[in-house]
Each structure stands twice: as C-alpha cells, then as structure tokens.
Amino acid sequence: MWSAIENLKIRLSLALTWRSPERVASAIRGFQVTEADGVWHLHRAIERLEDPRTKAVIFTHGLEEECHADVFGSVQRLYAGGLSSPMHFERKDLYAADDPAWKIFAFVNVGELDATQRFRLLRGALPEGPLRDALKSIIDDEEGHVHLTYDMLRRMGASPGEIRVEFVKVRLSRAWEAWLRVGKRMVDGLATVLLSLVYFLLGPFVARAARRRLEHRVVEFDSAHLKHL
C-alpha cells in the first residue's frame, strides 16, 4: 500500500514538476543535501560510541554516504549546466546527549529503508539518463546500510521490542515533519495565488494613479528653465 502511494507520488512529481532540467537539478540537489546531512549525523554518532571496531564500521558507512553526496552533486551539475545552487544543511542532533546511542541508528535505519524504496521506485520511473545510472549503485549501498544499521542496533543491546517502539516513534516524527513541509508548501502556494490576484485586480487602478503622481513629480523637478539663465 505504502509502496503504491509512493510510486504514484513519484510518477506525478516526474510528470508535473520534473519538466525542465533546472527542476530535475533542484530535486537532485535535495538528494545531495540529504546524503551530506546523513554523513554529519553518522559522525555525531561515532563520537558517542566506545568500541573502535563499531566506530570503524560507521566511519566506512559515512564514507559511502559522502560518496553518494558527491555522485548526486556531479549528476546535478550535468542537469544544471555546471552550476550549483546554494545548499541548506540541517545541523540539529537527532537525540539528546543522555538518550541511548542506539536510538540514532533506529532513526538512521528508517531513513535508509525509505531511501532504498524511494530510489528504487524513482529508478523504475525514470527514462535512461545519468540520474538513472547513478541510482543503481546507490540503491545497492542503501540496501546494505539497512541491514548494517539493524545489526548495529542489536549489537548495541537494543531488544527487538525496544527497536519496534523506537521505529514507531521515528515514523511518527518523520510523518509530522513531512506534514509540516506539505503545509508550508500549501501556505506558500496559496499566498502566491492571493498576491497574484491582488496584483492583477488592483494593479491597473494603482498603476494609473502612480503614473499621474509620477508625471506630476517630473514637472515639479524640471530644471530646464535654469538653462536660460
């Protein structure tokens, strides 16, 4: 069910909004930012780990996410004619310092699972091109990260019951954030429509009055008569 809804959303996005290389570049830029944010969160998680081997595994995971960010960056520049738009990086810790460290991996695991499924659906919907090619190896890596982060949760002592509860909390928090994003987009869209209506309905009257005032000011400051002095 989730997969069918997600597939529909992706196909609608491709048909309605990915209609120019600039829009595609902007979406890929979003993927790049998400991957780069993931690297930052993994580095924050490493600081809270004790075992050197676990730290090394997560460091390697971070390198792969960094590689994904680089790949998306290169593909984005192909669609944007070599240009890169400014990026906004989220730099907020997922959990408080006194929360168990394994919870970070529960959050990361849910993100990895969603990313794998979305990228797979996107790849299935895309025509041949550099983004489709790039997604192949990224999907393989993300699948590995889903298993890796789940193993990490178990190795760090979280019980299956605790993991299930945390997954539900993460899902709810991600759904709430997604809803806020949709709400913001709807408000922005509505504001644009209302302001455009005001502009087109009142514009002609205001323009006439403004032109009259402007003409008046031109005469007021006309200094041509000084040339006769």
Contacts to Fe ion by CB under 5 A: 35, 65, 68, 112, 142, 145
Please report how close the Cβ of residue 210 comes to Fe ion at its closest, in angstroms: 53
Q: CB nearer to Fe ion: give 142 or 166.
A: 142
Please report how close the Cβ of residue 192 comes to Fe ion at its closest, in angstroms: 33
Q: CB nearer to Fe ion: give 22 or 33.
A: 33
Please report how close the Cβ of residue 69 comes to Fe ion at its closest, in angstroms: 8
Please report how close the Cβ of residue 35 comes to Fe ion at its closest, in angstroms: 5
Q: Which residue has the tokens 């390697």?
A: 60
Distance CA 19, CA 17 (A): 5
Q: CB nearer to Fe ion: give 59 or 199.
A: 59
* Residue 218 burial by Cβ neighbours in a 10 Å radius (0-12, 13-18, 19+): exposed
Q: CB nearer to Fe ion: give 37 or 65.
A: 65
Sequence-ordered list of residues with C-beta below 8 angstroms from that of 40, at least 6 positions apart, any chain: 89, 91
Q: What is the DSSP string of 116-174?
A: HHHHHHHHHHSPSSHHHHHHHHHHHHHHHHHHHHHHHHHHTT--HHHHHHHHHHHHHHH
